[in-house]
Amino acid sequence: MAETVNGIAFALLALASVGGSVATLATRNVVHASFWLLEVMIALAGLFLLLTAEFMAMVQLLVYAGAVSVLLLFVIMLTLRRREDAIRPRDWSWPAAGMAALFGGLILSAVARYTPSNVRMPQVAPDVAGFGKLLFTAWMLPFELASLVLLVALIGAVWWSKEGDD
Amino acid sequence: MSVGLPAFLILAAVLFSIGLYGAVSRKSAVLVLMSLELMSAAVNLNLIAFSRFVTPLKMTGQFFAVFVMVVSAAEIGLGLALVLAIYRQARSIELTGLTRLKG
Protein backbone atom coordinates (compact mmCIF):
# COMPACT_ATOMS: atom_id res chain seq x y z
CA MET A 1 0.00 0.00 0.00
CA ALA A 2 2.73 2.37 -0.98
CA GLU A 3 0.70 4.55 -3.31
CA THR A 4 -3.00 3.90 -2.61
CA VAL A 5 -5.22 3.63 0.42
CA ASN A 6 -7.42 0.54 0.55
CA GLY A 7 -11.00 1.77 0.24
CA ILE A 8 -12.56 -1.09 2.20
CA ALA A 9 -10.12 -0.73 5.11
CA PHE A 10 -10.70 3.03 5.14
CA ALA A 11 -14.49 2.59 5.11
CA LEU A 12 -14.39 0.11 7.99
CA LEU A 13 -12.09 2.28 10.11
CA ALA A 14 -14.06 5.44 9.33
CA LEU A 15 -17.28 3.69 10.33
CA ALA A 16 -15.63 2.43 13.53
CA SER A 17 -14.32 5.86 14.49
CA VAL A 18 -17.50 7.84 13.71
CA GLY A 19 -19.76 5.19 15.23
CA GLY A 20 -17.60 4.96 18.32
CA SER A 21 -17.53 8.71 18.84
CA VAL A 22 -21.32 8.92 18.44
CA ALA A 23 -21.66 6.07 20.93
CA THR A 24 -19.31 7.89 23.34
CA LEU A 25 -21.81 10.73 23.48
CA ALA A 26 -24.96 8.60 23.19
CA THR A 27 -24.34 6.19 26.04
CA ARG A 28 -25.59 7.22 29.46
CA ASN A 29 -22.89 5.34 31.37
CA VAL A 30 -19.63 7.26 31.87
CA VAL A 31 -17.57 4.05 32.04
CA HIS A 32 -19.04 2.85 28.74
CA ALA A 33 -18.26 6.25 27.24
CA SER A 34 -14.59 5.92 28.14
CA PHE A 35 -14.44 2.46 26.57
CA TRP A 36 -16.08 3.79 23.39
CA LEU A 37 -13.44 6.53 23.31
CA LEU A 38 -10.78 3.80 23.58
CA GLU A 39 -12.34 2.11 20.53
CA VAL A 40 -12.26 5.40 18.59
CA MET A 41 -8.56 5.86 19.41
CA ILE A 42 -7.72 2.33 18.23
CA ALA A 43 -9.61 2.95 14.97
CA LEU A 44 -7.66 6.20 14.49
CA ALA A 45 -4.40 4.30 15.02
CA GLY A 46 -5.52 2.02 12.17
CA LEU A 47 -6.14 5.07 9.98
CA PHE A 48 -2.62 6.32 10.79
CA LEU A 49 -1.30 2.94 9.62
CA LEU A 50 -3.21 3.37 6.34
CA LEU A 51 -1.34 6.68 5.93
CA THR A 52 2.00 4.84 6.53
CA ALA A 53 2.64 6.72 9.76
CA GLU A 54 3.69 3.67 11.78
CA PHE A 55 5.36 5.64 14.57
CA MET A 56 2.29 7.83 15.06
CA ALA A 57 0.07 4.75 15.14
CA MET A 58 2.22 3.22 17.88
CA VAL A 59 2.25 6.47 19.88
CA GLN A 60 -1.50 6.76 19.44
CA LEU A 61 -1.96 3.27 20.89
CA LEU A 62 0.47 3.90 23.76
CA VAL A 63 -0.66 7.40 24.75
CA TYR A 64 -4.38 7.54 23.95
CA ALA A 65 -5.45 3.91 24.06
CA GLY A 66 -3.08 3.08 26.92
CA ALA A 67 -2.36 5.99 29.22
CA VAL A 68 -5.28 8.36 28.68
CA SER A 69 -8.04 5.75 28.92
CA VAL A 70 -6.54 4.27 32.10
CA LEU A 71 -6.26 7.79 33.55
CA LEU A 72 -9.91 8.48 32.63
CA LEU A 73 -11.05 5.25 34.26
CA PHE A 74 -9.06 6.07 37.41
CA VAL A 75 -10.66 9.50 37.70
CA ILE A 76 -14.13 8.03 37.08
CA MET A 77 -13.42 5.47 39.79
CA LEU A 78 -12.22 8.13 42.25
CA THR A 79 -15.00 10.64 41.66
CA LEU A 80 -18.04 8.34 41.28
CA ARG A 81 -18.16 6.28 44.42
CA ARG A 82 -21.39 4.37 43.79
CA ARG A 83 -22.30 2.30 40.75
CA GLU A 84 -25.50 4.29 40.18
CA ASP A 85 -23.52 7.55 39.87
CA ALA A 86 -22.03 6.38 36.57
CA ILE A 87 -25.48 6.50 34.92
CA ARG A 88 -26.13 10.07 33.89
CA PRO A 89 -29.27 11.80 32.70
CA ARG A 90 -29.21 12.55 29.00
CA ASP A 91 -28.08 16.10 28.44
CA TRP A 92 -28.85 16.96 24.86
CA SER A 93 -28.45 20.57 23.90
CA TRP A 94 -29.92 22.02 20.73
CA PRO A 95 -27.75 25.20 20.72
CA ALA A 96 -24.60 23.07 21.05
CA ALA A 97 -25.82 20.75 18.27
CA GLY A 98 -26.55 23.76 16.07
CA MET A 99 -23.13 25.23 16.70
CA ALA A 100 -21.35 21.94 16.00
CA ALA A 101 -23.41 21.38 12.84
CA LEU A 102 -22.68 24.92 11.66
CA PHE A 103 -18.97 24.48 12.29
CA GLY A 104 -18.90 21.06 10.62
CA GLY A 105 -20.82 22.37 7.63
CA LEU A 106 -18.42 25.28 7.30
CA ILE A 107 -15.39 22.95 7.36
CA LEU A 108 -16.99 20.48 4.94
CA SER A 109 -17.87 23.23 2.46
CA ALA A 110 -14.31 24.55 2.73
CA VAL A 111 -12.98 21.04 2.04
CA ALA A 112 -15.34 20.67 -0.93
CA ARG A 113 -14.40 24.11 -2.24
CA TYR A 114 -10.64 24.25 -1.78
CA THR A 115 -9.28 20.69 -1.78
CA PRO A 116 -8.08 19.70 -5.21
CA SER A 117 -9.63 16.28 -5.74
CA ASN A 118 -6.82 15.11 -7.99
CA VAL A 119 -4.11 14.98 -5.31
CA ARG A 120 -2.45 11.62 -5.85
CA MET A 121 -0.76 9.79 -3.04
CA PRO A 122 2.98 10.14 -3.66
CA GLN A 123 4.92 7.00 -4.50
CA VAL A 124 7.53 7.70 -1.85
CA ALA A 125 6.36 6.65 1.58
CA PRO A 126 7.55 8.06 4.91
CA ASP A 127 9.58 5.64 7.01
CA VAL A 128 10.35 5.45 10.69
CA ALA A 129 14.13 5.75 10.25
CA GLY A 130 13.77 9.02 8.36
CA PHE A 131 11.28 10.21 10.96
CA GLY A 132 13.77 9.62 13.78
CA LYS A 133 16.60 11.25 11.89
CA LEU A 134 14.53 14.39 11.22
CA LEU A 135 13.21 14.48 14.78
CA PHE A 136 16.73 14.68 16.21
CA THR A 137 18.12 17.10 13.64
CA ALA A 138 15.63 19.59 12.19
CA TRP A 139 13.06 19.29 15.00
CA MET A 140 15.55 19.08 17.86
CA LEU A 141 14.59 22.32 19.66
CA PRO A 142 10.79 21.79 19.56
CA PHE A 143 11.36 18.22 20.74
CA GLU A 144 13.26 19.40 23.81
CA LEU A 145 10.62 22.06 24.48
CA ALA A 146 7.96 19.36 24.30
CA SER A 147 9.77 17.37 26.95
CA LEU A 148 9.88 20.51 29.12
CA VAL A 149 6.10 20.96 28.63
CA LEU A 150 5.54 17.37 29.76
CA LEU A 151 7.76 17.89 32.82
CA VAL A 152 5.87 21.03 33.83
CA ALA A 153 2.53 19.23 33.29
CA LEU A 154 3.75 16.33 35.44
CA ILE A 155 4.73 18.62 38.31
CA GLY A 156 1.50 20.60 37.97
CA ALA A 157 -0.65 17.47 37.99
CA VAL A 158 1.07 16.19 41.14
CA TRP A 159 0.74 19.61 42.77
CA TRP A 160 -2.98 19.96 42.04
CA SER A 161 -4.01 16.44 42.91
CA LYS A 162 -2.11 16.18 46.20
CA GLU A 163 -4.16 16.07 49.38
CA GLY A 164 -3.81 19.71 50.38
CA ASP A 165 -4.95 21.34 53.61
CA ASP A 166 -6.10 24.58 51.98
CA MET B 1 -10.79 1.38 -5.11
CA SER B 2 -8.54 3.96 -3.54
CA VAL B 3 -9.22 6.82 -1.19
CA GLY B 4 -7.85 10.31 -1.64
CA LEU B 5 -7.09 13.26 0.59
CA PRO B 6 -10.68 14.68 0.75
CA ALA B 7 -12.03 11.50 2.38
CA PHE B 8 -9.60 11.89 5.28
CA LEU B 9 -10.40 15.60 5.63
CA ILE B 10 -14.15 14.91 5.67
CA LEU B 11 -13.74 12.16 8.28
CA ALA B 12 -11.62 14.45 10.47
CA ALA B 13 -14.17 17.27 10.15
CA VAL B 14 -17.01 14.94 11.20
CA LEU B 15 -15.04 13.65 14.20
CA PHE B 16 -14.11 17.20 15.23
CA SER B 17 -17.74 18.34 15.04
CA ILE B 18 -18.90 15.42 17.19
CA GLY B 19 -16.19 16.27 19.72
CA LEU B 20 -17.16 19.96 19.64
CA TYR B 21 -20.79 19.08 20.33
CA GLY B 22 -19.74 16.90 23.26
CA ALA B 23 -17.39 19.50 24.72
CA VAL B 24 -20.12 22.15 24.69
CA SER B 25 -23.15 20.08 25.68
CA ARG B 26 -21.92 17.70 28.41
CA LYS B 27 -22.30 18.63 32.06
CA SER B 28 -19.79 16.15 33.51
CA ALA B 29 -16.19 17.39 33.59
CA VAL B 30 -14.81 13.96 32.63
CA LEU B 31 -17.05 13.76 29.56
CA VAL B 32 -15.96 17.25 28.50
CA LEU B 33 -12.31 16.15 28.73
CA MET B 34 -13.10 13.04 26.65
CA SER B 35 -14.64 15.24 23.96
CA LEU B 36 -11.54 17.46 23.96
CA GLU B 37 -9.41 14.35 23.36
CA LEU B 38 -11.67 13.42 20.45
CA MET B 39 -11.17 16.87 18.93
CA SER B 40 -7.38 16.76 19.20
CA ALA B 41 -7.33 13.25 17.71
CA ALA B 42 -9.33 14.53 14.74
CA VAL B 43 -6.80 17.33 14.26
CA ASN B 44 -4.02 14.73 14.31
CA LEU B 45 -5.75 12.74 11.58
CA ASN B 46 -5.92 15.89 9.46
CA LEU B 47 -2.23 16.69 10.00
CA ILE B 48 -1.06 13.16 9.21
CA ALA B 49 -3.23 12.95 6.08
CA PHE B 50 -1.77 16.24 4.80
CA SER B 51 1.72 15.02 5.67
CA ARG B 52 1.24 11.79 3.70
CA PHE B 53 -0.26 13.43 0.61
CA VAL B 54 1.71 16.67 0.40
CA THR B 55 5.09 16.29 2.14
CA PRO B 56 5.72 12.53 2.36
CA LEU B 57 9.48 12.80 2.92
CA LYS B 58 9.71 15.93 5.06
CA MET B 59 6.87 14.61 7.25
CA THR B 60 6.07 18.09 8.57
CA GLY B 61 2.51 17.16 9.46
CA GLN B 62 3.64 14.13 11.42
CA PHE B 63 5.93 16.28 13.58
CA PHE B 64 3.09 18.73 14.19
CA ALA B 65 0.92 15.78 15.19
CA VAL B 66 3.62 14.66 17.65
CA PHE B 67 3.53 18.06 19.33
CA VAL B 68 -0.30 18.13 19.33
CA MET B 69 -0.15 14.77 21.08
CA VAL B 70 2.33 16.12 23.67
CA VAL B 71 0.10 19.10 24.40
CA SER B 72 -3.06 17.02 24.59
CA ALA B 73 -1.38 14.51 26.91
CA ALA B 74 -0.32 17.38 29.18
CA GLU B 75 -3.85 18.79 28.93
CA ILE B 76 -5.56 15.54 29.91
CA GLY B 77 -3.17 15.02 32.83
CA LEU B 78 -3.67 18.54 34.18
CA GLY B 79 -7.39 18.45 33.41
CA LEU B 80 -7.95 15.26 35.34
CA ALA B 81 -5.87 16.60 38.26
CA LEU B 82 -8.13 19.66 38.24
CA VAL B 83 -11.20 17.42 38.19
CA LEU B 84 -9.88 15.63 41.28
CA ALA B 85 -9.20 18.99 43.01
CA ILE B 86 -12.73 20.20 42.16
CA TYR B 87 -14.15 16.93 43.46
CA ARG B 88 -12.34 17.38 46.78
CA GLN B 89 -13.74 20.91 47.14
CA ALA B 90 -17.31 20.40 45.94
CA ARG B 91 -17.81 16.58 46.28
CA SER B 92 -19.16 16.63 42.72
CA ILE B 93 -17.82 17.06 39.18
CA GLU B 94 -21.01 18.50 37.69
CA LEU B 95 -20.10 21.66 35.80
CA THR B 96 -23.52 23.19 36.51
CA GLY B 97 -22.68 23.16 40.23
CA LEU B 98 -19.59 25.34 39.84
CA THR B 99 -21.26 28.73 40.23
CA ARG B 100 -19.09 30.26 42.95
CA LEU B 101 -17.68 32.92 40.58
CA LYS B 102 -21.09 33.75 39.10
CA GLY B 103 -21.95 37.43 39.58
| Per-residue model confidence as pLDDT tens digits over A74-93 | 999 888 877 777 788 777 88
Domain final position from A31, A64, A85 = A85
Say whether B10 and A7 touch across the interface (CB within 8 A): no
How far B19 CA sits from the closest chain A CA (Å)?
8
CATH number at residue A43: 1.20.120.1200
- Would you say residue A103 lies in a domain? no
Residue A80 shares a structural domain with residue A157: no
The residues pairing with A87 across neighbouring beta strands, listed in sequence order, are A29
| pLDDT one-digit tens code per residue, A31-84 | 999 999 999 999 999 999 998 889 999 999 999 888 999 999 999 988 887 777
How many domains does one find in chain A?
2
Structural domain that includes position A6: 1-85
Which residues in chain A have Cβ-Cβ distances shorter than 8 Å to B34?
24, 33-34, 37, 72
Residue A2 shares a structural domain with residue A81: yes
- Would you say residue A95 lies in a domain? no
For B74, the closest of A51, A78, A149 (CB atoms) is A149
Domain final position from A69, A85, A101 = A85
Residue A83 is predicted with a pLDDT of: 76
Residue B47 has pLDDT above 80, yes or no: yes
- Exposed, middle or buried, A135 (CB in 10 Å: 0-12/13-18/19+)? middle
Domain final position from A30, A58, A85 = A85
Q: Does B17 touch chain A (CB under 8 A)?
A: yes
- The residue among A38, A27, A34 whose CA lies nearest residue A88 is A27
Residue A120 has pLDDT above 80, yes or no: no
Residue A166 has pLDDT above 80, yes or no: no
Which residues fall within 8 angstroms of residue A121, CB to CB, at 6 or more apart? A3, A4, A5, B2, B4, B52, B53
- Give domain limits for chain B: 5-97
- Would you say residue A110 lies in a domain? no
In words, the CATH class of domain B5-97 is mainly alpha
